[in-house]
Structure 1
């Protein structure tokens, strides 16, 4: 009988993280599911069964992350970690001219620096240490199609995902020292609570700015995209493939609108700028 595989997933209380935990557990993995709240830990245990082990893990708190890594280390009982899925993330929205700087700091702290904190704490369990004689694990970073193209108003989120792409590429090249592969998954619109949370943005806080019309248009478009988005299980399948394929893709795009990304990639950038600005009402008055 083959040895059970083990994975740590951050941001596993809802959405893509929860779906990935369930999918891997159903495939026979033992999953350490990072959550921030005790009640989420209790709920996951009840809903997903004994293969899913909730772990309190706030990606913005180094001490909590250290405790989480120690807990996982103890539960592994000498086994290594086969996968680390850096999934935790938030979405901050707002026009850059008026965005409170602390909101950009919060966006990057969760979506970029948080991934580094977690990676530093868990990398030794994946095999990033001297004298490790086992099979090296893998790191999967949850990026986004926003890591390729920045939409107005959602630029803070795109900044974090562009940065995560660089983090993934640089980390992959560094981790070659240990034989640990690092790849990214780039979801498009997915039916998850992250965009519901993003709607905590009160458009009227920017009501006196020149961007209010564009904000309302973009929020309407975003909500509609989320309603028509793919189920998070589709991303969970990509997570499993990234962890198990002999040679996983460096970027796996999971989106219901693949042509949209292709068009943006093929169009001259200035033309794409005008197209997006026209749709959102960001063209200058005649």
Structure 2
């Protein structure tokens, strides 16, 4: 039975991916941060789902989980690592604290680094493991190659994640371990619900308050009309099983957003987005 590790399996894309892979005969090790989530998923998914209790920023806990997985593999290679866990910090750079920015990078960039260092030996970097080398799937975003205002922490983390994937895809050719990127547009997951919980009062004195309010409205609308998490789960399955998987797959329910992100010249895109959010130059007194 092929085995996969998925970080952030409690909800959203991670949960949908775990279910999709389990239904296709994989054994799934899924990371959660709460014991209650571990128990819930065990009851929901059955014996082929094994919860791993860790926060991706806790290197000691992640490496302990890797040892747990190694013991369960009984010398066979791990078929895949899906780096899915992530958070989104919103706000203009001048309004976001350094602590918040650092937390964003810790979870979305350093977390995957820790997971890769812990699980790469099981994917085939350790020559004692027997079987074909596994694959690493990085869950990125359209923001991985296109910057949205008021989302600079999140966008910076996804740019960094894609740069990391680009380097590792070439480094890990030494072991036969492929590194793949999935870059979705808006997906119907709980991460969008958190936009509704943003405390706008903290930005009451900011010149960016009106654009941020418009962005928040747009985010809520996009999240509710976004792709089903099951669609992303299907793409993860393809990345893990296709004979010649694409290095980067982009999918979005918003053709206009995809056009702006991928095809429109940068200066034109600047003007379009500034117009949408009211980011034109302020009059100076």
With normalisation by structure 2, the TM-score equals: 0.96
Of 98, 106, 129, which aligns to 1:101? Answer: 98
Of 67, 80, 83, which aligns to 2:64? Answer: 67
Could you tell me which residue of structure 1 aligns to residue 9 of structure 2? 12
Could you tell me which residue of structure 1 aligns to residue 126 of structure 2? 129
- Return the alpha-carbon distance in structure 2 between the equivalents of residues 272 and 27 of structure 1: 41
Segments of 4+ in structure 1 off by > 4 A?
Answer: none
Instruction: Tell me whether 1:175 sits opposite 2:172 in the alignment.
Output: yes
- The answer to whether the Cα contact below 8 Å between 2:189 and 2:229 also exists between their aligned partners in 1 is yes
- Return the alpha-carbon distance in structure 2 between the equivalents of residues 131 and 216 of structure 1: 54
Of 88, 93, 112, which aligns to 1:91? Answer: 88
Instruction: Tell me whether 1:240 sits opposite 2:219 in the alignment.
Output: no
Could you tell me which residue of structure 1 aligns to residue 77 of structure 2? 80
Q: Secondary structure at the match of 2:82?
A: strand
Mean CA deviation greater in 218-227 or 77-86: 77-86
Shift, 1:264, TM fit: 3.2
Instruction: Tell me whether 1:278 sits opposite 2:275 in the alignment.
Output: yes
Counterpart mapping for 1:1-286 below 5 A: 4-285=1-282
- The answer to whether the Cα contact below 8 Å between 1:234 and 1:254 also exists between their aligned partners in 2 is no
With normalisation by structure 1, the TM-score equals: 0.96
Shift, 1:225, TM fit: 0.3
CA-atom RMSD, angstroms?
Answer: 1.2
What is the number of equivalent residue pairs in this alignment? 283
Shift, 1:131, TM fit: 4.7
Gaps of 5+ in 2: none
- The answer to whether the Cα contact below 8 Å between 1:5 and 1:81 also exists between their aligned partners in 2 is yes
- The answer to whether the Cα contact below 8 Å between 1:22 and 1:52 also exists between their aligned partners in 2 is no
Gaps of 5+ in 1: none
